[in-house]
């Protein structure tokens, strides 16, 4: 094949990709719910970035206490009221936004990395390797993620880093299974056989020919899992295994508020609403992403 031909071929392919992308964006923009999700999420992102500079009492997120002002109801001075040591809940909720997003992102990225690596090795090489990896996956999948995450995190020790490690360690099997099944079906495609025929290395076949075609379903899974990851991390924080005081972690803040619920309802209610807002907007968005990347899911 001459150079010129191959260039025109690749530009035709780019053209096709571009059109596909445009169609996707069109579908996405026509989905009012995902646009709402995107709007809320952008707002959340902005809040996460500017929170340290704009909240009224930034020091309340890092250990300052004002016992004289404890458990005050929402007011002009404290929009969301104050907690048991007089910290401004509004400031703490906003300061916690960045942490929540960071935790969710880290968990999904770590889990996806482990899962995609093991899953593609299992699917591509098959046989013994496949058997071994999938048996390990089965063991992890045999126990609900939350329960195993509690066990692992308890063993590693309390703390937000260990929460992220613990959850990632129980979250990867889903990605491994998905990637494996995608790789197995793509392995049979003609273009993979062609690459094999002209002597491409396994590495090249896997990364240049197979995985790029498996990206969409993996992204869909990452986006739908993100909300669950945030919820799971908050749950471990709520149980008391996660961030330790004074870190403004939403789950831990709800746990703090339990003792004062419902008479001093604001301590627990506002961090919960914050979690809801992030997870809800992300779920709306994820729904839209699924429609774009996997049109069969919605008719």
DSSP string, 37-76: HHHHHHHHHHHHHHHHHHSS-GGGGTT---GGGTTPPS-S
Shortest separation between residue 232's beta carbon and other proteins, angstroms: 9
Among 24, 52, 246, 272, binds other proteins (CB under 8 A): 272
- The answer to whether the bond into 246 is cis (omega within 30° of 0) is yes
155: contact with other proteins by CB under 8 A: yes
In this structure, what are the phi and psi dihedrals at residue 227, rounded to the nearest 5 degrees? -60, -45
Q: Using CA atoms, how far apart are residues 196 and 220, in angstroms rounded to an integer?
A: 29
193: contact with other proteins by CB under 8 A: no
Closest CB to other proteins among 49 and 147? 147
Closest to 63 in 3D by CA, of 253, 246, 252, 249: 246
Angle between helices 211-239 and 266-293 (to 10 degrees): 170
Which of the residues 196 through 215 are near other proteins (CB under 8 A)? none
Taking CB under 8 A as the binding criterion, the range among 68-76, 79-87, 120-128, 136-144 that sits at the site for other proteins is: 136-144
Among 116, 218, 234, 292, binds other proteins (CB under 8 A): 234
Q: Using CA atoms, how far apart are residues 74 and 216, in angstroms rounded to an integer?
A: 45
Among 9, 109, 147, 259, binds other proteins (CB under 8 A): 147
Shortest separation between residue 185's beta carbon and other proteins, angstroms: 18
Closest CB to other proteins among 45 and 273? 273
- The answer to whether the bond into 85 is cis (omega within 30° of 0) is no
Among 102, 276, 294, 295, binds other proteins (CB under 8 A): 276
Closest CB to other proteins among 16 and 151? 151
Among 51, 89, 121, 235, binds other proteins (CB under 8 A): 235
Please answer whether residues 267 and 10 qualify as being in contact, where contact means their C-beta atoms are separated by less than 8 angstroms: no
275: contact with other proteins by CB under 8 A: yes
Q: Using CA atoms, how far apart are residues 249 and 238, in angstroms rounded to an integer?
A: 9
254: contact with other proteins by CB under 8 A: yes
Q: What angle do CA 222, 223, 229 make, to 5 degrees?
A: 75
Residues that bind other proteins (CB under 8 A): 33, 135-136, 138-140, 142-148, 150-157, 227, 231, 234-235, 238-241, 251, 254, 258, 261-262, 265, 268-269, 272, 275-276, 279-280, 283-284, 287, 297, 299
């Amino acid at each position: 094949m001459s150079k010129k031909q191959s260039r025109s071929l690749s530009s035709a392919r780019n053209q096709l990709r571009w059109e596909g992308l445009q169609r996707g964006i069109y579908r996405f923009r026509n989905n009012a719910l995902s646009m709402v999700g995107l709007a809320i999420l952008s707002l959340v992102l902005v809040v996460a970035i500017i929170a340290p500079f704009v909240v009224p009492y930034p020091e309340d997120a890092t250990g300052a206490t004002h016992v004289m002002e404890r458990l005050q109801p929402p007011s002009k001075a404290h929009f969301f009221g104050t907690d048991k040591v007089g910290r401004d809940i509004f400031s703490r909720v906003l300061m916690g936004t960045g942490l929540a997003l960071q935790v969710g992102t880290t968990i999904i990225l770590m889990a996806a990395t482990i899962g995609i690596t093991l899953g593609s090795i299992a699917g591509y090489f098959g046989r013994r390797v496949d058997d071994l990896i999938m048996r390990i996956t089965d063991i992890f999948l045999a126990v609900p993620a939350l329960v195993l995450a509690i066990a692992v995190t308890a063993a590693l020790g309390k703390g937000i880093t260990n929460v992220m490690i613990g959850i990632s360690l129980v979250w990867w099997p889903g990605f491994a299974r998905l990637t494996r099944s995608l790789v197995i079906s793509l392995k049979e495609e003609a273009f993979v056989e062609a690459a094999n025929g002209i002597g491409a290395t396994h590495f090249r076949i896997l990364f240049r020919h197979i995985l790029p075609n498996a990206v969409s379903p993996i992204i869909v899974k990452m986006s739908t899992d993100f909300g669950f990851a945030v919820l799971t991390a908050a749950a471990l924080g709520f149980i008391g295994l996660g961030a330790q005081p004074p870190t403004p972690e939403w789950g831990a803040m709800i746990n703090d508020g339990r003792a004062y619920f419902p008479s001093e309802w604001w301590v627990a209610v506002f961090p919960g609403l914050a979690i809801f807002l992030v997870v809800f907007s992300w779920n709306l968005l994820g729904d839209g992403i699924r429609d774009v990347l996997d049109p069969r899911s919605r008719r």
